[in-house]
């Protein structure tokens, strides 16, 4: 079998179009323009690329983008003051503090200082608790993007066996909660899991989010299963070149799977599209 390729790039474009339509209606009918504030501390090159991309796509969707670039030496108190200002600014509906923060800051403290209603990352402890108890919350963008692609491919996910490989707070754990919310039977596998291949091979849905290049190979995949690859790893491609690969070995997994997301062009583009969607959601909730 050769897997159907789930085109995250095309899917993300349709999500962005819907968001832009929603934004236009909010402006026309209510005179409201959703606003997203992104805070970057320091000069991490990957974070700079993400933040630039978020700002650009926010503006393209017709929303207001507010960027705060703070030096690496910024104190935690100074960052908390910026967050507080954004919490109190009615023009700002979504706040994202780019992670990782410099080592001298307590990320949990900073994230939990964001107004939960403006926490478009869904990382605030209140949103984590609401998601875990099946209540209305802000949902982390990467798992939300994965869920949207899975629903689109499968229709109902009810009763399917899902294995999430990776237990991070940003992807693995919220992904498992979302799949459980859609009535999957969910297993979280991780670096200490025994017989991990056998567990992954029992899955109708595999979500790989471990950050280990090409760890999941085709012999781990049940024929016909759906493989969602969250990994983005830059590896040596010889001759002084590098290439981007996922947490799944694409060629061998695509031979066995029923459907698979590529890297790049799979989950990645969906993350920012969901961030824009979350900002509109936060704006609509703030305005009743
Ligand atoms: N760093 C890498 N991914 C993310 C994300 O989704 N949100 C934030 N705030 N920081 C990140």
Q: How confident is the model at residue 12 (pLDDT cuts 50, 70, 90)?
A: very high
Considering the candidates 54, 118, 173, 222, report the single residue annotated as catalytic.
54
pLDDT at residue 288 in the model? 81
Whether 91 sits among the annotated catalytic residues: the reply is: no
Whether 119 sits among the annotated catalytic residues: the reply is: no
Single pTM value for the model: 0.97
Which of 83, 111, 170 gets mutated to test ligand 1 (max ligand atoms within 8 A of its CB)? 170
Mean of the pLDDT values across residues 25-44?
Answer: 98
Q: Would you call 252 exposed, middle or buried from its count of C-beta atoms within 10 A (0-12, 13-18, 19+)?
A: middle
- Give the domains, in start order, of the chain with CATH numbers: 31-116 (3.40.50.10860), 141-269 (3.40.50.720)
pLDDT at residue 9 in the model? 98
Mean of the pLDDT values across residues 213-242?
Answer: 97
Q: What is the mean pLDDT of the chain?
A: 98
| Residue 1 pLDDT greater than 80, yes or no | no
What digits encode the pLDDT tens for the residues 173-226?
999 999 999 999 999 999 999 999 999 999 999 999 999 999 999 999 999 999
Q: Atom 9 in ligand 1: which residue has the minimum CA distance?
A: 98
51 ligand 1 Cβ < 6 A: no
Considering the candidates 121, 182, 204, 229, report the single residue annotated as catalytic.
121
């Amino acid at each position: 079998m050769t897997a159907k390729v789930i085109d995250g790039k095309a899917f993300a474009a349709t999500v962005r179009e819907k968001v832009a339509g929603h934004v236009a209606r909010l402006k026309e009918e209510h005179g409201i323009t959703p606003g997203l504030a992104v805070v970057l501390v320091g000069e991490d090159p990957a974070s700079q690329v993400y933040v630039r991309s978020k700002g650009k796509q926010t503006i393209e969707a017709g929303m207001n983008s507010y960027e705060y670039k703070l030096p690496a030496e910024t104190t935690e108190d100074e960052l908390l003051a910026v967050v507080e200002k954004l919490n109190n600014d009615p023009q700002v509906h979504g706040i994202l503090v780019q992670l990782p923060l410099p080592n001298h800051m307590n990320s949990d403290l900073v994230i939990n200082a964001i107004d939960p209603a403006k926490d478009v990352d869904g990382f605030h402890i209140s949103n984590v608790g609401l998601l875990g108890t099946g209540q209305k919350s802000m949902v982390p963008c990467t798992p939300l993007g994965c869920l949207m692609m899975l629903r689109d491919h499968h229709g109902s996910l009810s009763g399917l066996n899902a294995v999430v490989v990776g237990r991070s707070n940003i992807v693995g754990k919220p992904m498992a909660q979302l799949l459980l919310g859609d009535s999957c039977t969910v297993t979280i596998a991780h670096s200490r899991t025994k017989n991990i291949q056998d567990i992954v091979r029992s899955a109708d849905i595999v979500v790989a989010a471990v950050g280990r290049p090409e760890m999941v190979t085709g012999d781990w995949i049940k024929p016909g299963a759906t493989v969602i690859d969250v990994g983005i790893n830059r590896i040596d491609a010889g001759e002084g070149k590098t290439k981007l690969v996922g947490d799944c070995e694409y060629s061998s997994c695509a031979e066995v799977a029923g459907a698979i997301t590529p890297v790049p062009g799979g989950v990645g583009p969906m993350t920012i599209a969901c961030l824009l969607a979350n900002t509109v959601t936060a704006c609509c909730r703030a305005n009743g």
